[in-house]
Amino acid sequence: MIRLALPLCGIVFFFLLSLATVRLLRPRQPKSYFVSYAILLLIVSAWIYISIWGVTTLDDALGLTACMLVQALMCLTMWNSFYSLLWGFSGGLMHDLLNDPSVRHVDCLVRLYDTEVGLDRILARRLPNLDRGGYIGFRNGVLQLRPKGRLIAFGTWCSFKVFSLGMGGGTK
């Protein structure tokens, strides 16, 4: 059980390193930093685990595997939380509602999200990112799913069916 303290220490380090990166370096796309940190933590955790306890039995190998899986899962959970909570649309909406009482009326809030380029702020940020990522084709106002986008759409559809979720994640 003490061996699982290693990934707990790792996730604290991952959080602090990610926080420092975002606050001090302010990278435009911190994803590459997060991936690098997660890989580095897996390597360091494996090295520490092997150095302290060694891998001589099947139990040791299973312990190392469990340690690595917990470390990877915790890094992915922290990373997902960062993007979902801090950079997600709902979090931004709550921030706007908290900090600007003038947008607490629905019509004012909708106007806040309109832009001059014909896309509202919701789509204006997401569509170009999906296009650059190879998930959709976005040319002259026409959208088309690319193979990566089709795979994500199919996976989402399967998740909705398996977990009985409606569109947007609510239960039926």
pLDDT digits 0-9 by tens, 33-59 = 989 999 999 999 999 999 999 999 999
**What's the domain count of the chain?**
2
Q: How confident is the model at residue 105 (pLDDT cuts 50, 70, 90)?
A: confident
Domain-terminating residue out of 52, 87, 122: 87
pLDDT on residue 78: 84
Q: pLDDT tier at 147 (50, 70, 90 boundaries)?
A: very high
Q: What is the mean pLDDT of the chain?
A: 81
Residues 6+ apart with CB under 8 A from 151: none
For 56, the domain range is: 2-87
Query: Among candidates 133, 162, 168, 166, which has minimal Cα distance to 149?
Result: 133
Are 130 and 72 members of one domain? Answer: no
Whether 172 is covered by a domain: the verdict is: no
> For residue 171, what pLDDT is reported?
45
Measure the CA angle with vertex 93, ends 26 and 101; round to 5°: 110
> Which pLDDT does position 84 carry in this prediction?
65
Q: Is the pLDDT assigned to residue 88 strictly greater than 80?
A: no
Handedness of CA 49, 54, 58, 60 (dihedral sign): negative
What's the predicted TM-score (pTM) here? 0.59
How many Å apart are CA 60 and CA 49, to the nearest integer? 9
101 and 62 in a common domain: no
For residues 17-21, average pLDDT: 88
The whole-number pLDDT of residue 51 equals: 94
Q: Residue 81 is encoded by which pair of tokens?
A: 């939380």
Q: Are residues 99 and 75 in the same domain?
A: no
Q: Please name the residue ranges forming H helices in the chain.
A: 5-20, 31-53, 58-81, 89-99, 106-112, 121-132, 147-163
Is residue 68 located within the same domain as residue 116?
A: no
Q: What is the pLDDT of residue 49?
A: 93
pLDDT tens by residue, 110-141? 777 776 656 676 676 677 778 888 888 877 77
Instruction: Give the type of residue at 117.
Output: V
Confidence category of residue 172, pLDDT binned at 50, 70, 90:
very low
Mean pLDDT of all residues in 61-75 = 92
78: in domain: yes
Q: Is residue 170 part of a domain?
A: no
Residue 170 has pLDDT above 70, yes or no: no
Confidence at residue 44, expressed as pLDDT on a 0 to 100 scale: 94
79 with 117, same domain: the answer is no
